[in-house]
Amino acid sequence: MSDSIRDQLLGMGFKPAPKPERKPDPRKPGPGGRGQRPAAAAEANKPGKPGKPRAERRPSGPARAGRSQEDIDLAKAYAIRAQKEKDERLAAEAAKQEAARLRREAKAKFDAFIVGKSLNVESAEIARHFEYGGKIKRVYVTAEQLKALNAGQLGVLQQNGRYLVVTADVLAEAEAIFPQGVALKVDPNAPAQEDPYADPQYQIPDDLVW
């Protein structure tokens, strides 16, 4: 349209046609962010809209402090229990070693005490059987010694696998030093069934294997 015709139309009261509105280029960054219009950026940040999930926020304040205190208390409890168990193991081991030491000392004193106190007779032929350590053992004695053993006037001690006939007094003193060394101690007032081998007529063949 020429300028003269446009001027004539304007003079007749016609308004000029509005100019088309320019749309912003979505590829150019705007004030709302890179490559996204402010309205679109706000829309994407609204809750409930699909998109990139937000990073989970770590608890802070009293909740986080309470959890940390709980972890500390639990760690302290574990440390206390571990230390207690360690102390108990050390105490048990120390008690075991002390008991072994006392046993060795008592055994050494026992061995020294019974030196020269044995009444065994090499020619003795009577086997006196008795129970010791859960097994049947025997010691050879004379007829007189057998009667004295059954009457409680003699006793039998065990030393390194050997069985020694001793007097009742020696037996009592040895028992006070090292009780484990007493192999046969007869109570003359005890019922006969408690010591079935006390009967002189109760003989077991020597060739019988126990």
Three-state SS string over the chain comes to CCHHHHHHHHHCCCCCCCCCCCCCCCCCCECCECCCCHHHHHHHCCCCCCCCCCCCCCCCCHHHHHHHHHHHHHHHHHHHHHHHHHHHHHHHHHHHHHHHHHHHHHHHHHHHHCCCCCCCCCCCCEEEEEEECCEEEEEEECHHHHHHHHCCCEEEEEECCEEEEEEHHHHHHHHHHCHHHEEECCCCCCCHHHCHHHCCCCCCCCCCCC
Within-domain flag for 155: yes
pTM over 0.85, yes/no? no
The pLDDT score that the predictor gives to residue 210 is: 39
Instruction: Tell me what the pLDDT averaged over the chain comes to.
Output: 79
**Residue 111 falls inside a structural domain:** yes
Total domains present in the chain: 1
Model confidence pLDDT, tens digit, residues 39-62: 555 555 555 555 555 555 655 555
Q: Is residue 15 part of a domain?
A: no
Specify if 80 maps to a domain: yes
pLDDT digits (tens, 9 = 90+) for 54-93: 555 655 555 555 578 888 888 889 999 999 999 999 999 9
Range of the domain at 147: 75-189
Position 177 in a domain: yes
Determine, yes or no, domain membership for 65. no
Flag whether 128 is in a domain.
Answer: yes
Look at residue 51 in the predicted model and tell me its pLDDT.
Answer: 52
